[in-house]
Amino acid sequence: MVGGVQAPRRRTQLGRCFRWRPEMQQRRVVRQSKFRHVFGQAVKNDQCYDDIRVSRVTWDSSFCAVNPKFVAIIVEASGGGAFMVLPLQKTGRIDKAYPTVCGHTGPVLDIEWCPHNDHVIASGSEDCTVMIWQIPENGLTVPITEPVVILEGHAKRVGIVSWHPTARNVLLSAGCDNIIIIWNVGTAEAMITLDEMHPDMIFSISWNRNGSLLCTTCKDKKLRVIDPRKEEIIAEKDKAHEGARPMRAVFLTNGNIFTTGFSRMSERQLALWNPENMDEPIALHEMDTSNGVLLPFYDADTNVVYLCGKGDSSIRYFEITDETPYVHYLNTFASKEPQRGMGYMPKRGLDVTRCEIARFFKLHERKCEPIIMTVPRKSDLYQDDLYPDTPGPEAALEAEEWLEGQTKDPILISLKHGYVPGKNRELKVQRNRLDKPPQNRKTESGSTPVKGPSLNANSESKLDELFQEVKTLKATVASQNERIANLENQMAKITI
- The 10s digit of each residue's pLDDT in 403-453 is 999 999 999 999 988 877 766 667 767 764 333 333 433 333 344 343 433
- Does residue 256 contact residue 283 with C-beta atoms inside 8 Å? no
Q: What are the residues whose beta carbons fall under 8 Å from the beta carbon of 149, sequence distance 6 or more? A: 131, 132, 185, 188, 429, 431
Q: How confident is the model at residue 368 (pLDDT cuts 50, 70, 90)?
A: very high
- Does residue 132 contact residue 427 with C-beta atoms inside 8 Å? yes
Query: What integer pLDDT is reported at residue 427 of this predicted model?
Result: 76
Query: What integer pLDDT is reported at residue 192 of this predicted model?
Result: 97
Q: What are the residues whose beta carbons fall under 8 Å from the beta carbon of 249, sequence distance 6 or more? A: 204, 206, 215, 216, 217, 223, 240, 257, 258, 259, 260, 296
Q: How confident is the model at residue 495 (pLDDT cuts 50, 70, 90)?
A: low
Query: What integer pLDDT is reported at residue 19 of this predicted model?
Result: 44
Mean pLDDT of the region 230-247: 95
Q: How far apart are CA 342 and CA 356, in angstroms?
A: 18
Q: How far apart are CA 287 and CA 299, in angstroms?
A: 21
75-100 confidence digits (pLDDT tens): 998 878 999 999 999 999 999 999 99
CA dihedral over 337, 338, 341, 344, signed as positive or negative? positive
Q: How confident is the model at residue 121 (pLDDT cuts 50, 70, 90)?
A: very high
Q: How confident is the model at residue 470 (pLDDT cuts 50, 70, 90)?
A: confident
pTM tops 0.75:
yes
Query: What integer pLDDT is reported at residue 275 of this predicted model?
Result: 96
Q: How far apart are CA 427 and CA 188, in angstroms?
A: 12
Query: What integer pLDDT is reported at residue 203 of this predicted model?
Result: 96
242-252 confidence digits (pLDDT tens): 999 999 999 99
Q: What is the mean pLDDT of the chain?
A: 86
The residue that leads in pLDDT, 428 or 156, is 156
Q: How far apart are CA 200 and CA 182, in angstroms?
A: 19
**Is the pLDDT reported for residue 454 higher than 60?**
no
- Does residue 396 contact residue 164 with C-beta atoms inside 8 Å? no
The residue that leads in pLDDT, 157 or 24, is 157
Q: How confident is the model at residue 476 (pLDDT cuts 50, 70, 90)?
A: confident
18-30 confidence digits (pLDDT tens): 344 555 444 445 6
Burial class for 133, CB neighbours closer than 10 Å (0-12, 13-18, 19+): buried
- Does residue 305 contact residue 298 with C-beta atoms inside 8 Å? yes
**Is the pLDDT reported for residue 15 higher than 50?**
no
Mean pLDDT of the region 362-367: 94
The residue that leads in pLDDT, 435 or 279, is 279
- Does residue 330 contact residue 35 with C-beta atoms inside 8 Å? yes
Residue type, 107: P
Closest CA to 346 of 354, 356, 358: 358
**Is the pLDDT reported for residue 16 higher than 80?**
no
The residue that leads in pLDDT, 19 or 494, is 494
Q: What percent of the chain has pLDDT over 90?
A: 70
3-state secondary structure of 129: strand
Query: What integer pLDDT is reported at residue 246 of this predicted model?
Result: 94
**Is the pLDDT reported for residue 175 higher than 60?**
yes
Query: What integer pLDDT is reported at residue 458 of this predicted model?
Result: 52
Burial class for 27, CB neighbours closer than 10 Å (0-12, 13-18, 19+): exposed
Query: What integer pLDDT is reported at residue 53 of this predicted model?
Result: 93
Q: How far apart are CA 303 and CA 455, in angstroms?
A: 48
